[in-house]
Amino acid sequence: MSIIRRNEIEAVLPVSLQNVQNAAARICGYVRQTPLLESSLLNEVLGFRLLVKAECLQVTGSFKARGGFNQLLQLDEETKRQGIIAWSSGNHAQGVAYAAQKLGIKATILMPHDAPQLKMENTRRYGAEIVTYNRDTEDRNEVGNRLTAERGLHLIHSYDAERTIAGQGTVGLEIYNQTCEQGISPDALIVNCCGGGLSSGIAVTCGLYEKPPMLYTSEPQFFDDARRSLASGTMMKNDRVSGSICDALLMPNMGIKPLQILLHHGAQGLTASDDDAQAAMHVALEYFKLVLEPGGAVSLAAAFLNRQQFQGKTVVAVASGGNVDPDAYIDMLRRGRVHRAKLLPQLGR
Amino acid sequence: MSIIRRNEIEAVLPVSLQNVQNAAARICGYVRQTPLLESSLLNEVLGFRLLVKAECLQVTGSFKARGGFNQLLQLDEETKRQGIIAWSSGNHAQGVAYAAQKLGIKATILMPHDAPQLKMENTRRYGAEIVTYNRDTEDRNEVGNRLTAERGLHLIHSYDAERTIAGQGTVGLEIYNQTCEQGISPDALIVNCCGGGLSSGIAVTCGLYEKPPMLYTSEPQFFDDARRSLASGTMMKNDRVSGSICDALLMPNMGIKPLQILLHHGAQGLTASDDDAQAAMHVALEYFKLVLEPGGAVSLAAAFLNRQQFQGKTVVAVASGGNVDPDAYIDMLRRGRVHRAKLLPQLGR
């Protein structure tokens, strides 16, 4: 289903490289430069060079603290006193709650009632007040708008806001610096996509390369609104917002600003199934010593699934988060172990 | 049992800070600067500030590539042609095999027949020839010396060699730089200890701090020769060399050079049980998104066990490795989950 047409997607891009560079200078004392990891053993089996940007090691366990700090550090005193609100399934919730705690701002977070326990608990431990809604029966925007108005709060949008996109884009700046240090010019970047804040923010930085890499969004199978929107040039919507273990990547549709940026940069969409994501989590454990949540591993899964087209190339996959309930993680590894043998039989075991 | 007395431990130290700094300059193009991670949520529960040096993210999955490269980069051409040998339960094996592969040197590795499958497989995949011995019935030194002589190979000692110690010490330089950047002067460093190459190398760098941190070695319970050697000032030996899941930390005794350095710096020894190590692996998964092998998690476990004495302080724990068979990892997480509730009941779940 198309909900916004191509002619509504404007020519003037909402976020510039300068915005991202300013964000990097603004947030650098609050977030980490995460490592860009590589395994020569895995590369040999894959037939291409895979670099993993480990955003699961970011403060709060995902890239979301970047956008959170870039937003909150620009608020005026009056807005800070009134407090902020964010709507999130868990990673934006934690990133914003943590940033608010560090900066002494009261945070209210609207979360789906079935968000992973770990994400909900940690959001509370970062000092935020949590309000829940039912993902299947209630409209998040409706509940969120009502709550925001009633309480007079300032909304920190998780993806469709210039400052959020610029903050997430700092991941792209780091990738650029880290690849340059190694004399690498990647052929492709694969970035997990839900609202599109991260992938569009990174897209803004691709022009830094003399030969810009191809940018791919990665989404769970059956929740591939970005892939379809990028292919058609119009905003497409998902039929459902639940039914995948990739809880971080389930929404009706991506943001208009991210879509606009991604279309401008000629991005394309990739997908991976839950099984593929679990197999990628297992590979990440063995070859990168990283704990990924399923939504954080879709980019790696997409790289594995499309390995024929990447032969001989250099691919950066952004591992966007690692916030998974430990018990669920163990179960996912068990299933991932079985499916990995199908996805990457060359790896053995 | 004491095997070497205090008066045999000489006054002139085998490794200087300059040696470590030279090693850092030598190997920097071959190894990674690993991140120093922290979780505000965990700190709050612990009552002290815990920084984790994530050497599991180092190339080959442990700190060992540092010493390996520092050794191999200093070999003369004739020695390179003859080839090198290393004796190792798995991490030194991989670190040396990888360095040898990168530098085009033939590597032979002597490993216990019961080394973890992952470590043995990867050593082979890094291009080394593996020879096995029985850890319980054969003497590693005897088998190793015979093999080295028969084949005319150059031995890359895993801990009792100046160049190995200087290479591992680069971990300490990174910790120093990373803590300084954040304006932190740690009160204590906890470093996993088997032969003592890593802990003694780091000890050499402690003098960089205006107020040097206290250095603690961490070992598996019942394999605490370093703790006893440091307490008595004489080289003590373990009764056994098997019977713990911490496969990376099982040897008859530490090296004389490491002991000499550690005694000079007034280091003391801590221990943790296998259960504690597994609990620490579970905590590392949840709070740091890191996959640790049991021997790599003993330092974290020791920090948790001694949390009363660390209240209000800043402690750096070196997570030395993450090379664990995925199936074994899942089992260890299951057991770690249960024991974690006893070790750190405040963490909940």
Claim to verify: residue A53 and residue A148 sit in the same structural domain:
no
Q: Which residue type sits at B64?
A: K
Q: What is the pLDDT of residues A281-319, one digit of tens each?
A: 999 999 999 999 999 999 999 999 999 999 999 999 999
Res A1: pLDDT = 45
Asked whether residue A349 carries a pLDDT value surpassing 70, the answer given is: no
Claim to verify: residue A144 and residue A264 sit in the same structural domain:
no
Residue A1 domain flag: no
Q: Given pLDDT bands bounded at 50, 70 and 90, which one contains residue B1? A: very low
C-alpha angle B330-B331-B337 in degrees, rounded to nearest 5:
90
Average pLDDT rounded to a whole number, residues B205-210: 97
- For the CA atoms of B242, B246, B248, B249, what is the dihedral angle to 10 degrees? -70
Asked whether residue B349 carries a pLDDT value surpassing 70, the answer given is: no
* Residue at a domain's end among B160, B191, B215: B160
Contact state of B333 with A337 under an 8 Å Cβ cutoff: no
Q: Given pLDDT bands bounded at 50, 70 and 90, which one contains residue A45? A: very high
A138: helix, coil or strand? coil
Residue A88 domain flag: yes
Res A241: pLDDT = 84
Q: What is the pLDDT of residues A207-248, one digit of tens each?
A: 999 999 999 999 999 999 999 999 999 999 999 988 999 999
pTM score, whole prediction: 0.95
Q: Contacts of residue A116 in chain B, CB cutoff 8 Å?
A: none
- Tally of domains within chain A: 2
Closest by Cα among B53, B2, B16, B1 to B257:
B16
Residue A123 domain flag: yes
The CATH number covering residue A217 comes to 3.40.50.1100
Q: Assess contact for B84 and B154: CB atoms under 8 A.
A: yes
Claim to verify: residue B89 and residue B35 sit in the same structural domain:
no
Q: Contacts of residue A41 in chain B, CB cutoff 8 Å?
A: 122, 125-126
Asked whether residue A152 carries a pLDDT value surpassing 80, the answer given is: yes
Give me the interface pTM, i.e. the ipTM: 0.95
Average pLDDT rounded to a whole number, residues B144-162: 95
**Separation between Cα atoms, residue A272 and residue B84, nearest integer Å:** 44
Best mutation site among B289, B320, B344 for testing chain A: the one with the most A CBs within 10 Å? B289
* Residue at a domain's end among B160, B192, B225: B160
Claim to verify: residue A172 and residue A245 sit in the same structural domain:
yes
Claim to verify: residue B199 and residue B326 sit in the same structural domain:
yes
Residue B136 domain flag: yes
Contact state of B333 with A330 under an 8 Å Cβ cutoff: yes
Contact state of B57 with A35 under an 8 Å Cβ cutoff: yes
Q: What percent of chain B shows pLDDT beyond 90?
A: 90
C-alpha angle A321-A323-A327 in degrees, rounded to nearest 5:
140
Contact state of A57 with B288 under an 8 Å Cβ cutoff: yes
Contact state of B34 with A35 under an 8 Å Cβ cutoff: yes
Average pLDDT rounded to a whole number, residues B34-44: 98
Interface check B63 vs A, CB under 8 A: no
Closest by Cα among B30, B60, B67, B17 to B296:
B60
Q: Given pLDDT bands bounded at 50, 70 and 90, which one contains residue B42? A: very high
**Separation between Cα atoms, residue B59 and residue A38, nearest integer Å:** 8
Res A242: pLDDT = 87
Q: What percent of chain A shows pLDDT beyond 70?
A: 97
Phi, psi of A155 (to 5 degrees): -80, 130
**Separation between Cα atoms, residue B273 and residue B269, nearest integer Å:** 14
Residue A141 domain flag: yes
Interface check B37 vs A, CB under 8 A: yes
- Where would I find the beta strands (DSSP E) of A56-213? 84-87, 107-112, 129-133, 154-155, 188-192
Average pLDDT rounded to a whole number, residues A142-168: 96
Residue A2 domain flag: no
Interface check A341 vs B, CB under 8 A: no
Closest by Cα among A348, A267, A272, A349 to A304:
A272
Q: Given pLDDT bands bounded at 50, 70 and 90, which one contains residue B10? A: very low
Helical ranges in chain B per DSSP H: 17-27, 40-46, 64-72, 77-82, 91-103, 117-125, 140-151, 162-181, 197-205, 225-232, 256-264, 274-283, 294-305, 307-310, 326-343
Contact state of B290 with A289 under an 8 Å Cβ cutoff: yes
State the DSSP string of A79-111: HHHH-EEEE-SSHHHHHHHHHHHHHT--EEEEE
Contact state of A35 with B35 under an 8 Å Cβ cutoff: yes
* Residue at a domain's end among A135, A160, A185: A160
Average pLDDT, chain A: 95
Other CB atoms within 10 Å distance of the CB of residue B44 = 11
Claim to verify: residue A101 and residue A131 sit in the same structural domain:
yes
Asked whether residue B194 carries a pLDDT value surpassing 90, the answer given is: yes
Q: What is the pLDDT of residues B299-330, one digit of tens each?
A: 999 999 999 999 999 999 999 999 999 999 99
Residue B2 domain flag: no
Which tokens sit at B261? 């350095």
Q: What is the pLDDT of residues A32-44, one digit of tens each?
A: 999 999 999 999 9
Claim to verify: residue A136 and residue A200 sit in the same structural domain:
no
Claim to verify: residue B15 and residue B68 sit in the same structural domain:
no
Q: Assess contact for B36 and B318: CB atoms under 8 A.
A: no
Choose among B32, B286, B326: nearest Cβ to A285: B326
Claim to verify: residue B236 and residue B327 sit in the same structural domain:
yes
Residue A117 domain flag: yes
Claim to verify: residue B227 and residue B322 sit in the same structural domain:
yes
Interface check A56 vs B, CB under 8 A: yes
Res A135: pLDDT = 83
Claim to verify: residue B257 and residue B302 sit in the same structural domain:
yes
Claim to verify: residue B24 and residue B143 sit in the same structural domain:
no
Interface check B282 vs A, CB under 8 A: yes
Longest CA–CA span in chain A (Å) reads 59
Res B166: pLDDT = 98
Res B89: pLDDT = 82
Q: Give the dihedral sign, CA A65/A69/A70/A76.
A: positive
Higher per-residue confidence, A267 vs B137: A267
Interface check B286 vs A, CB under 8 A: yes
Domain of A325 in residue numbering reads as 7-63+164-347
